[in-house]
């Protein structure tokens, strides 16, 4: 059974006649469609091949229906309007020759690679519309996978083989992980973003199409220098890899090399963001959630019912396994009021696929699903959950650490020394049971650290950033511990290492746990109010005066995750068992 346009077809031939009629009617009118089908009823593939040359969407729906059309024999999903728009854009670029450069910015998981990389490349080479297609990806491994997907279609799609011939012949033509010469005199090659493409050619032919699919990586956006370098590589190398259009007597006799960038927005000044603002590029930018005018994502997820749903999902009084189940039950019971329009309703469930990723990692969600990096420079932390000492100490803790981010001076402009006694509870939440955020001298800081060790007898690990004192503080604290009678016999595991990780990247790992109330701070410590305010003021390292406390919280949370809990083995007296 084939399912398309809310219709059911018992056989592939019934579906093929339907799709032929639909697209012939679009291009030539209903009457001509019927005449053409009748005249070619003995060889519909011949008619479909001719029509496929004029419409990439039709080619995909007819010759690649196993990929794009729902059948009992596959796991395809119903396509959305956005997918048909992508095919129309491909028609405008490759058939109508309206654009030479395009930036296709779609949410992660929207099948943009399948449509604009695998399917478009297959069409280009079946019809010899591109003699040399160069496909770029962020890594060599990704680029190999892209070529494999095209190779698989050309090797296994019987309808394509029957109508376009066997295009892959490794016995007579070069076929390997990164390149493929086809039997019809065309060529595909793939490269990673770190590979130079200067002077790329095949038998004297320069690339006629370049498709950069997820051509940027996280490492390309971490610093301003990295972002500039990656954009310059694109404009100075990728855009110059092919040929310009050729005109004769005012008539274009050869099109320019087509340059297509496909991906998501990772930063306000990443490659895709800058290309979207480049007037030389035709740009399509879509978001997973379809917003109304002047509406944003926060308007949806901060509405009354979604807030209640989130509170259930992060309720520390519930068992971990219960939270998601009960939150989803709440959503299902209120689905008519909570559901919102999405770009691909067949695929994305509002709760599981959009709300949870938003709660768990808002920054990644806004980037990869909403293609929105405008929050750069905004405050990262929307809320900080606090509890009293009595509320916190009612929990059962599985591991406890003292984490310290020391500062070397005590002037007005100097950083704070930030200390936190943090514990993981059996509900998997983190509780900062005690904290210090002051401008302390070396001696004051070391003495305060020992005071905390005396106060909290379940501390087993001490983590101190090495960058400031290069380990001298660790030796001083250990010296003071030997002089403190109450610490006699206590054993500590020391973690004293240089911090080399990008600070914003590190702090980003705790944004959602803090916002969602999974990291809870004692509200009754002397420095609690100032520490909480410092967290709320954080806008990224570049835009924040003091980030000491939240930096320590990130180290504490990640440090606790790395502590391995070894359960004690309890031996029972056999006599108590009657043995």
Q: Per-residue pLDDT for 122 more than 60?
A: yes
Would you say the C-alpha torsion 504, 507, 513, 515 has a positive or negative sign?
negative
Distance CA 130, CA 125 (A): 6
Residues 361 and 402 in one domain: no
Answer with the one of 31, 59, 75 that is the final residue of a domain.
Answer: 75
Each residue's pLDDT tens digit, 39-50: 998 999 999 999
Residues 404 and 360 in one domain: no
Each residue's pLDDT tens digit, 58-78: 999 999 999 999 999 999 999
- 144 φ, ψ (degrees, to nearest 5): -65, -40
Q: Per-residue pLDDT for 542 more than 70?
A: no
Residues 104 and 128 in one domain: yes
CA angle 298, 376, 211 (to 5 degrees): 100
- Cα diameter, the chain: 106
> Which alpha helices (H) appear in 128-194, and where do they start and end?
140-156, 158-164
568 lies in a domain? no
Strands 251-254 and 246-248, how do they pair? antiparallel
66-91: average pLDDT: 95
Distance CA 95, CA 89 (A): 10
Burial of residue 522, with CB atoms counted within 10 A of its CB: 0-12 exposed, 13-18 middle, 19 or more buried? buried
Residues 156 and 47 in one domain: no
Q: How confident is the model at residue 164 (pLDDT cuts 50, 70, 90)?
A: very high
579 lies in a domain? no
Q: What is the pLDDT of residue 425?
A: 92
223-236: average pLDDT: 91
Q: What is the pLDDT of residue 533?
A: 87
Q: Per-residue pLDDT for 452 more than 50?
A: yes
Q: What is the pLDDT of residue 161?
A: 97
CATH number of the domain within which 536 lies:
3.30.420.320
Distance CA 549, CA 79 (A): 48
361-377: average pLDDT: 80
Closest CA to 516 of 421, 381, 392, 422: 381
Residues 276 and 314 in one domain: no
CA angle 557, 419, 495 (to 5 degrees): 60
Each residue's pLDDT tens digit, 338-347: 999 999 999 9
Q: What is the pLDDT of residue 505?
A: 86
94 lies in a domain? no
Q: How confident is the model at residue 454 (pLDDT cuts 50, 70, 90)?
A: very high
Residues 234 and 264 in one domain: yes
Q: Which domain holds residue 177?
A: 99-285
Q: What is the pLDDT of residue 498?
A: 87
Each residue's pLDDT tens digit, 399-410: 999 999 998 776
Cα distances (angstroms) measured from residue 420 to each of 431, 434, 445? 10, 6, 13
453-473: average pLDDT: 91
Would you say the C-alpha torsion 105, 111, 117, 119 has a positive or negative sign?
negative
Residues 335 and 390 in one domain: no
Distance CA 576, CA 573 (A): 6
Burial of residue 406, with CB atoms counted within 10 A of its CB: 0-12 exposed, 13-18 middle, 19 or more buried? buried
291 lies in a domain? no
Q: How confident is the model at residue 301 (pLDDT cuts 50, 70, 90)?
A: very high
Beta carbons of 40 and 47 less than 8 angstroms apart: yes
428 lies in a domain? yes
Residues with Cβ within 8 Å of residue 135, at least 6 apart in sequence:
117, 121, 143, 146, 147, 188, 189, 190, 191, 210, 211, 212, 213
Distance CA 103, CA 271 (A): 10
Residues 351 and 485 in one domain: no
* pLDDT-above-70 percentage for the chain: 96
Cα distances (angstroms) measured from residue 342 to each of 16, 289, 290, 347? 29, 4, 5, 9
315-330: average pLDDT: 91
Would you say the C-alpha torsion 248, 250, 254, 258 has a positive or negative sign?
positive
569 lies in a domain? no
100-124: average pLDDT: 94
253-264: average pLDDT: 94
Q: What is the pLDDT of residue 576?
A: 45
Number of domains composing the chain:
4
Burial of residue 238, with CB atoms counted within 10 A of its CB: 0-12 exposed, 13-18 middle, 19 or more buried? buried
Residues 435 and 555 in one domain: yes
Q: Per-residue pLDDT for 120 more than 90?
A: yes
Each residue's pLDDT tens digit, 491-540: 999 999 888 788 888 998 999 999 999 999 999 999 998 899 889 888 87
CA angle 559, 563, 568 (to 5 degrees): 160
Residues 161 and 48 in one domain: no
CATH number of the domain within which 163 lies:
3.40.50.300
The per-residue pLDDT of the chain, averaged, comes to 91
Q: Per-residue pLDDT for 577 more than 70?
A: no
Q: What is the pLDDT of residue 569?
A: 44
400-424: average pLDDT: 85
Residues 512 and 402 in one domain: yes
196 lies in a domain? yes
570 lies in a domain? no
Q: Per-residue pLDDT for 317 more than 90?
A: no
Residues 548 and 429 in one domain: yes
Q: Identify the three-state secondary structure at position 231.
A: helix
Highest-scoring range by mean pLDDT, 159-163, 194-198, 434-438, 534-538: 159-163
Answer with the one of 285, 313, 343 that is the final residue of a domain.
Answer: 285
């Amino acid at each position: 059974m084939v399912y398309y346009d809310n219709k059911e077809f018992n056989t592939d031939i019934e579906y093929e006649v339907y799709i032929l009629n639909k697209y012939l009617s679009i291009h030539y009118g209903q009457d001509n469609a019927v005449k053409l089908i009748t005249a070619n009823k003995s060889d519909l593939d011949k008619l479909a091949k001719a029509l496929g040359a004029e419409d990439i969407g039709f080619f995909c729906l007819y010759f690649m229906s196993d990929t794009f059309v729902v059948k009992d024999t596959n796991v395809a999903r119903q396509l959305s309007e956005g997918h048909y728009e992508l095919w129309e854009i491909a028609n405008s670029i490759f058939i109508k020759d309206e654009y030479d450069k395009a930036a296709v910015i779609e949410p992660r998981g929207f099948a943009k690679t399948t449509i604009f990389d695998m399917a478009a490349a297959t069409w280009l080479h079946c019809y010899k519309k591109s003699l040399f297609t160069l496909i770029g990806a962020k890594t060599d491994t990704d680029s190999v996978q892209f070529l494999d997907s095209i190779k698989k279609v050309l090797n296994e799609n019987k309808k394509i083989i029957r109508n376009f011939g066997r295009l892959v012949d490794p016995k007579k033509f070069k076929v390997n992980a990164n390149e493929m010469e086809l039997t019809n005199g065309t060529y595909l090659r793939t490269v990673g973003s770190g590979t130079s493409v200067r002077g790329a050619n095949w038998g004297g032919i320069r690339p006629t199409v370049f498709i950069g699919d997820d051509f940027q990586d996280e490492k390309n956006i971490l610093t301003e220098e990295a972002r500039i370098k990656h954009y310059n590589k694109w404009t100075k190398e990728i855009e110059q890899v092919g040929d310009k259009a050729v005109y004769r007597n005012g008539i274009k006799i050869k099109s320019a090399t087509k340059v297509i960038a496909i991906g998501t927005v990772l930063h306000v000044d990443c490659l895709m963001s800058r290309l979207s603002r480049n007037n030389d590029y035709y740009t399509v930018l879509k978001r997973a959630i379809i917003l109304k005018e002047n509406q944003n994502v926060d308007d949806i997820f901060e509405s009354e019912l979604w807030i209640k749903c989130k509170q259930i999902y992060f309720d520390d009084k519930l068992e971990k396994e219960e939270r998601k189940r009960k939150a989803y039950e709440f959503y299902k019971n209120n689905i008519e009021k909570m559901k919102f329009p999405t770009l691909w309703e067949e695929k994305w469930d509002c709760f599981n696929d959009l709300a949870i990723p938003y709660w768990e990692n808002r920054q990644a969600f806004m980037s990869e699903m909403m293609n929105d990096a405008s929050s750069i420079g905004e405050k990262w932390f929307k809320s900080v959950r606090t509890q009293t000492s009595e509320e916190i100490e009612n929990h059962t803790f599985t591991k406890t650490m003292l984490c310290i981010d020391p500062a070397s001076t005590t002037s007005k402009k100097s950083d704070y020394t930030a200390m936190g006694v943090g514990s993981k509870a059996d509900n998997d939440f983190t509780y900062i049971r005690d904290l210090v955020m002051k401008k302390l001298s070396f001696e004051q800081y070391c003495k305060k650290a020992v005071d905390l060790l005396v106060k909290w007898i379940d501390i087993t690990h001490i983590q101190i950033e090495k960058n400031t004192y290069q380990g001298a503080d660790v030796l001083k604290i250990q010296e003071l511990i030997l002089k403190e009678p109450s610490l006699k016999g206590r054993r500590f595991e020391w973690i004293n290492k240089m911090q080399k990780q990008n600070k914003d990247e590190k702090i980003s790992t705790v944004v959602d746990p803090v916002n969602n109330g999974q990291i809870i701070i004692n509200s009754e410590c002397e420095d609690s109010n100032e520490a909480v305010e410092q967290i709320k003021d954080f806008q990224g390292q570049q835009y924040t005066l003091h980030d000491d406390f939240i930096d320590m919280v990130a180290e504490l949370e990640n440090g606790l995750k790395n502590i391995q809990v070894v359960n004690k083995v309890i031996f029972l007296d056999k006599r108590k068992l009657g043995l």
